[in-house]
Amino acid sequence: MSDNEDKALPIDRRIEADITRAIYDQRMPPGTRLSEERLGELYEVSRTVVRKALFQLSSRKLVEIRPNRGARVAQPSAAQAREVFAARATLEAAMLEESMTRLTPADIAALRDTLAHDHDTPTDEADAAESIAESGDFHRALARLHGNTVLQEFLDELIGQTSLIIALYRPRDAALCSHDAHDALLDAIEAGDAATARRAMRAHLMACLDALELDPPQPAALADMLGRAR
Amino acid sequence: MSDNEDKALPIDRRIEADITRAIYDQRMPPGTRLSEERLGELYEVSRTVVRKALFQLSSRKLVEIRPNRGARVAQPSAAQAREVFAARATLEAAMLEESMTRLTPADIAALRDTLAHDHDTPTDEADAAESIAESGDFHRALARLHGNTVLQEFLDELIGQTSLIIALYRPRDAALCSHDAHDALLDAIEAGDAATARRAMRAHLMACLDALELDPPQPAALADMLGRAR
DNA sequence: ACAAAGCAAATTGTATCCAATTATTATTGT
DNA sequence: ACAATAATAATTGGATACAATTTGCTTTGT
């Protein structure tokens, strides 16, 4: 009875879900090799079904499959990172603006509850992973209020990719997409009109993007590290 | 030398592309069964690679795979149809509004050329299929001007699903997403500001949606067809 | 003659096997 | 001792074989 959590969903879906969760929770860093045979023996299943799961994951851009070279957890480039955030800004701003007419005070209260619940966690150390996951949840909850499941699912994909981007490009200490930022965003939503909310959302996402360290970490500074070479 | 068009792309990609094109061109109606064995012998390839292609297609929602029941060309429900059009309206309106600052007269001229090229075709009869494909091309071209490839690819998916929706729900004669409508849209873009263009795009897509016959074609009218039954 | 159960054919799901490619290690020559 | 090359091991791509499920048909009983 306490064997697997979801008993109904097929084994390949379970593998997919497990890897997805591991990526979201920052346990599987970008670049991690995903050997078909290894995964197969882990789940006691043939490579056939593992391959199926890996292909599904690659269609969501969470893993990258290079021909004859196997699958790895994807490593989005800086350019891709910028595009994902730009896409999120466009999409989430538009969705929020359209939601504004329908947004009830109860909706906003519910969102605040989610945030308050998160405030308990100290946000101190390496549980930044949890903070990132919760940030995603907030954006997902906001999108759900819009009501369009097609856009919801697409945003889900983008948020998933954002996990990888943050894992790759977040500076050592900086907390990203802080709860405070979400609080401020909610304030703007509550107080302002549609256009204001739209701008606030875009500003928030662009701030998150700016907090990243997308520029290469000194690729040519090698000489310096070797003393007074060259 | 004249064997296959694209020699470089792997066989599973080719199958995928062929089916995609067949759907776009309305040659493969929704609901068409896609037997793994049949496709395999058609392309002289094993079921393994056919399955791969079919799964890719299902992730783009062009085919529907039901466990142990095989794959069919997808049949989006009326509810899904509405959501896809709503998603397109939100997305394309937002993208267009953001493009407006960058849009040069040359861009608009290029778009008009595409439309003029299409005007040649009489739009008379069953080549409505071609008209539909060209309509998609117009929207794709417009999206390309925005510059974000992530949103571009997503819109591509939505346009693909739109092919299925039109195949399912377009009334007998009515031409959908007419060239005239696109001309008018371009006029609005050329003349107006960002907000105007946004509204024009939304109005255009909603007009397309309204032209569809989404309501069930008299599911309870069966009795009438059978004379004075009941 | 009709309904229901059972049987047979076809189709999908999964495992295993072989071929092809890539990565790693060993070897050899300078 | 190092570089380049050759041999070997490991891993993925694809085909075949078998198991499980579904579908259509036949048969049987009332």
Give residue A230's pLDDT.
43
Percentage helix, strand, coil for chain A under 3-state DSSP, each rounded to 5: 60, 5, 35
As a whole number of Å, the CA-based R_g of chain B is 20
Summarize the confidence of residues B68-86 as an average pLDDT.
Answer: 98
Q: How far apart are CA A144 and CA A150, in angstroms?
A: 11
Give residue A226's pLDDT.
56
Ranked by mean pLDDT, which of A211-220, B72-81, B119-128 comes out on top?
A: B72-81
Q: How far apart are CA B102 and CA A132, in angstroms?
A: 34
Say if residue B62's pLDDT is above 60.
yes
What is the nearest CA distance from B128 to chain A, expressed in angstroms? Answer: 27
Which chain B residues are closer than 8 Å to A149 by Cβ?
Answer: 83
Give the residue among A208, A165, A209 at the shortest CA–CA distance from A74.
A165
Give the residue among B149, B44, B79 at the shortest CA–CA distance from A84.
B149
Beta-bridge mates of residue A125: none
Q: Which of B59, B67, B93 sits opposite A59 (nearest CB)?
A: B59
CB of A48 lies under 7 Å from some atom of strand D = yes
Say if residue B226's pLDDT is above 80.
no
Q: Is A144 helix (H, G, I), strand (E, B) or coil?
A: helix
- Long-range interactions of A188-192: CB distance < 8 A, separation 24+: A189/A96, A189/A100, A189/A103, A189/A108, A190/A108
Least confident piece of the model among A117-131, B15-29, B138-152, B157-171:
A117-131
- With b for 16 or more beta-carbon neighbours within 10 A and e for fewer, the B54-88 pattern comes to bbbbbbbbbbbbeeeeebbbbebeeebbbbbbbbb
Residue B48 exposure: Cα atoms within 13 Å on the Cβ side: 5
Give the residue among B121, B141, B130, B127 at the shortest CA–CA distance from B186.
B141
Please report, rounded to whole angstroms, the spatial distance between the CA atom of protein residue A175 and the C1' atom of nucleotide C13: 46
List all nucleotides in chain C with at least one atom under 7 A from a protein Cβ: 11-17, 21-23
Interhelix angle B149-169/A149-169, rounded to 10 degrees, is: 160
Give residue A126's pLDDT.
56
CB of B46 lies under 7 Å from some atom of strand C = no
Please report, rounded to whole angstroms, the spatial distance between the CA atom of protein residue B228 and the C1' atom of nucleotide C14: 54
Please report, rounded to whole angstroms, the spatial distance between the CA atom of protein residue A35 and the C1' atom of nucleotide D7: 25
CB-based contact B52 A56, cutoff 8 Å: no
Which chain B residues are closer than 8 Å to A95 by Cβ?
Answer: 90
Least confident piece of the model among A54-63, A65-74, B73-82, B215-224:
B215-224
B164 touches B62 (CB < 8 A): yes
| Cα-Cα-Cα-Cα dihedral sign, residues A57, A60, A65, A71 | negative
Q: How far apart are CA A130 and CA A145, in angstroms?
A: 23
Give residue A172's pLDDT.
83
Eight-state DSSP code of residue A100: T
Q: How far apart are CA B210 and CA B180, in angstroms?
A: 16
Q: How far apart are CA B46 and CA B49, in angstroms?
A: 6
CB of A52 lies under 7 Å from some atom of strand C = yes
Summarize the confidence of residues B45-51 as an average pLDDT.
Answer: 98
Summarize the confidence of residues B208-229 as an average pLDDT.
Answer: 72
Eight-state DSSP code of residue B204: H
Which of chain A's residues 109-148 bind strand D, using a 7 Å CB cutoff?
none
CB-based contact B98 A90, cutoff 8 Å: yes
Q: Which of B10, B59, B86 sits opposite A56 (nearest CB)?
A: B59
Tokens 């005239």 -> residue: B180
Q: How far apart are CA B143 and CA B140, in angstroms?
A: 5
B136 is written with which tokens? 């998609």
Domains and CATH numbers, chain B: 11-73 (1.10.10.10), 78-210 (1.20.120.530)
Which chain A residues are closer than 8 Å to B148 by Cβ?
Answer: 83, 86-87, 90
Identity of residue B28? M
Give residue A129's pLDDT.
80
CB-based contact B154 A149, cutoff 8 Å: no
Give residue B33's pLDDT.
97
Say if residue B175's pLDDT is above 80.
no
User: Digits of tens for pLDDT over chain A (230 positions)?
Assistant: 334 444 578 999 999 999 999 999 999 999 999 999 999 999 999 999 999 999 999 999 999 999 999 999 999 999 999 999 999 999 999 999 999 999 999 999 999 988 877 666 555 545 778 888 889 999 999 999 999 999 999 999 999 999 999 999 999 877 677 788 999 999 999 998 999 999 999 999 999 999 999 987 665 555 565 555 44
Confidence of residue B130 (pLDDT cuts 50, 70, 90): confident
For A99, name the nearest residue in chain B, comparing CA atoms only: B90
CB of B70 lies under 7 Å from some atom of strand C = yes
Q: What is the DSSP string of B3-71?
A: S-S-SSS-HHHHHHHHHHHHHHTTSS-TT-EE-HHHHHHHTT--HHHHHHHHHHHHHTTSEEEETTTEE
Confidence of residue B217 (pLDDT cuts 50, 70, 90): low
> A12, A91, A100: best mutation site toward chain B, by most B Cβ within 10 Å?
A91
In chain A, the N- to C-terminal Cα span, in Å, equals 67
Give residue B172's pLDDT.
83
CB of B52 lies under 7 Å from some atom of strand D = yes
